[in-house]
């Protein structure tokens, strides 16, 4: 019998686990070498408690920047090593540069080397434990879907591509129009007859049943009784859109249709005056700093532009902003002259219209610096959905419900879609980016803004700009 219950951690729980034990292992390592060897740079005392707090904060901040809490990175040996080295190096350097909140530099500088090695070894050792035990198949969560037969492939790939430990191993066909048709299995996902659901759940260690049927008549009286029995026995029964949102951090607009008001309790931050005023003050300060940096960069960019771009330094383009108001966005030019003489088209990866120097500007996000002027004027925000061109907005909105919902907040210099998804080359990409944008609007908060900021820094440092 395969009813042995497996341990499973949700995505948020795994990230919290990584953050918590990163700090715990580092502190245990520092305590151990202080106890065993003559290491007195970092000591645990009640009067110096803030040393621990600052170190924990630095570990979490630089861990976020260097993707220590990206679960795909955390499950890969080589990427874990790279992230651990970068996180350790940044944490130690910044810790040493803030002596007001950290220990004074020791006379024996060899102790700094011990400090660095201990932090790295502790982080890396814990991450190897995670890869070996917590990121393994023994923590797989087995799931059953209740859906229409033609939905199975799309639903399975949509969830398992985000969380490989979330395994859908069976489905119940809820399409009453095709009950008489011979059922089929999809790869390892078995078809389950309604009357066999309870037995299948018991024999296969199923921990969750996900309802994805869009037809109310698909939940028959017999299926309802089976689900009720499973619920009473302690099994989790969840609605697909909620599972999809929690796993992918996107809003599944293709499954919402006319019932959007049930799924869009938009974040209160969108109307919170304190939040909005605080963000605006930060945006003004940040954009002024960005403009100053941009002014220092202009001479160098101007010289390089004359050699490799051979055209105007700046270009403007109409974009759709808050409430559908059209404004002109400002950027450093990265494409050849007359790049759209045949008409407006989506930019794409390895776009032949982008010059070599323009590619560098895009990868480093330097081409976005003039947009700080848009932010200062109030046309844009630091964080929000990227503004799209009117011609594309009209085209996409005709095909995708809710697309213009993006315009209830200001467009941003960076956003949730930009840090989680590659460049949009076609309309299908716009749908996925819309899902991320709606997730941001729904969950907008200081925490999510900080997460986007850290991910944006990672994008720049790892040269992933588009």
pLDDT of residue 97: 85
Task: Kindly tell me the number of DSSP H helices and DSSP E strands found in the chain.
Answer: 17, 9
Q: Residue 221: what pLDDT?
A: 87
pLDDT above 60 (res 414): yes
Q: Residue 325 has what pLDDT?
A: 95
Task: Quote the CA–CA distance of 348 and 426 in Å, as a whole number.
Answer: 8
In the predicted structure, residue 93 carries a pLDDT above the cut 80:
yes
Query: Sign (positive/negative) of CA torsion 55, 60, 65, 70?
Result: positive
pLDDT in tens, 279-327: 999 999 999 999 999 999 999 999 988 888 877 899 899 999 999 999 9
pLDDT tens profile 49-74 = 888 999 999 999 999 999 899 888 88
Highest mean pLDDT among 77-81, 231-235, 375-379, 393-397: 375-379
What pairs with residue 409 in β-bridges?
A: none
Sign, CA dihedral 97-101-107-111, equals negative
CA distance 159 to 161: 6
Average pLDDT over residues 207-221: 80
Q: Domain extents for the chain?
A: 11-134, 140-248, 268-461
Task: With CA atoms as reference, report the closest residue to 144 among 210, 203, 242.
Answer: 210
Among 131, 132, 10, residue whose Cα is nearest residue 72: 131
Rounded Cα distance between 155 and 252, Å, is: 11
Rounded to a whole number of angstroms, the CA Rg of the chain reads: 26
Give the model's pLDDT for residue 424: 62
pLDDT digits (tens, 9 = 90+) for 123-166: 999 999 998 887 766 668 899 999 888 888 888 887 877 787 88
β-pairing, 381-383 vs 412-414, is: parallel
Q: Are 79 and 73 in contact (CB under 8 A)?
A: yes
The whole-number average pLDDT for the span 21-25 is: 96
Pick the CATH number of 140-248 from 3.30.530.20, 3.40.50.11060, 3.40.50.150, 1.20.1440.230: 3.40.50.11060
Between CA 224 and CA 453 the distance in angstroms is 45
pLDDT at residue 22 is higher than 60: yes
C-alpha 434/C-alpha 454 separation (Å) is 21
Q: How far is the C-alpha of 434 from the C-alpha of 285, rounded, in Å?
A: 29
Computed over every residue of the chain, the mean pLDDT equals 85
């Amino acid at each position: 019998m395969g009813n042995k219950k497996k341990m499973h951690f949700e995505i948020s729980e795994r990230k919290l686990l990584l953050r918590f034990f990163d700090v715990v292992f580092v502190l245990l390592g520092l305590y151990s070498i202080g106890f065993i060897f003559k290491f007195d740079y970092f000591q645990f005392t009640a009067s110096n408690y803030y040393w621990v707090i600052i170190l924990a904060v630095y570990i979490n901040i630089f861990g976020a920047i260097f993707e220590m809490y990206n679960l795909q990175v955390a499950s890969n040996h080589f990427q874990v090593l790279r992230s651990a080295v970068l996180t350790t190096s940044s944490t130690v350097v910044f810790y040493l540069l803030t002596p007001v909140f950290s220990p004074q530099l020791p006379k024996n500088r060899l102790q700094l080397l011990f400090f660095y090695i201990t932090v790295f070894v502790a982080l890396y050792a814990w991450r190897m434990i995670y890869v070996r035990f917590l990121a393994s198949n023994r923590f797989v969560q087995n799931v059953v879907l209740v859906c229409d037969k033609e939905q199975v492939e799309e639903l399975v790939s949509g969830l398992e591509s985000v969380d490989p430990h979330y395994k859908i191993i069976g489905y119940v066909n809820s399409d009453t129009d095709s009950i008489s048709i011979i059922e089929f299995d999809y790869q390892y996902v078995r078809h389950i007859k309604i009357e066999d659901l309870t037995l299948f759940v018991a024999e296969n260690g199923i921990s969750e049943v996900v309802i994805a049927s869009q037809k109310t008549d698909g939940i028959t009286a017999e299926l309802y009784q089976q689900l009720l029995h499973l619920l009473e026995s302690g099994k989790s029964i969840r609605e697909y859109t909620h599972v999809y949102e929690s796993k992918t951090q996107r809003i599944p607009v293709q499954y919402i249709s006319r019932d959007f008001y049930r799924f869009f309790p938009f974040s209160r931050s969108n109307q919170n005056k304190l939040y909005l005023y605080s963000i605006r003050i930060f945006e003004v300060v940040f954009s002024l700093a960005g403009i100053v940096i941009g002014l220092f960069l202009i001479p160098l960019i101007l010289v390089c532009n004359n050699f490799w771009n051979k055209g105007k330094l700046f270009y403007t383009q109409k974009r759709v902003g808050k409430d559908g108001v059209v404004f002109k966005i400002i950027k450093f030019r990265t494409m050849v002259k007359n790049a759209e003489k045949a008409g407006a088209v989506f930019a794409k990866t390895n776009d032949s219209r982008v010059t070599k120097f323009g590619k560098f500007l895009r990868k480093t996000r330097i081409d976005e610096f003039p947009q700080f002027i848009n932010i200062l004027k109030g046309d844009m925000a630091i964080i929000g959905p990227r503004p799209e061109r009117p011609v594309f907005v009209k085209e996409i909105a005709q095909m995708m419900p809710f697309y213009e919902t993006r315009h209830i907040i200001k467009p941003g210099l960076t956003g949730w879609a930009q840090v989680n998804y590659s460049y949009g080359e076609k309309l299908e990409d716009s749908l996925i980016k819309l899902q991320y944008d709606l997730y941001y609007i729904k969950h907008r908060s200081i925490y999510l803004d900080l997460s986007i900021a850290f991910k944006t820094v990672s994008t720049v440092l790892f040269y992933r700009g588009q």
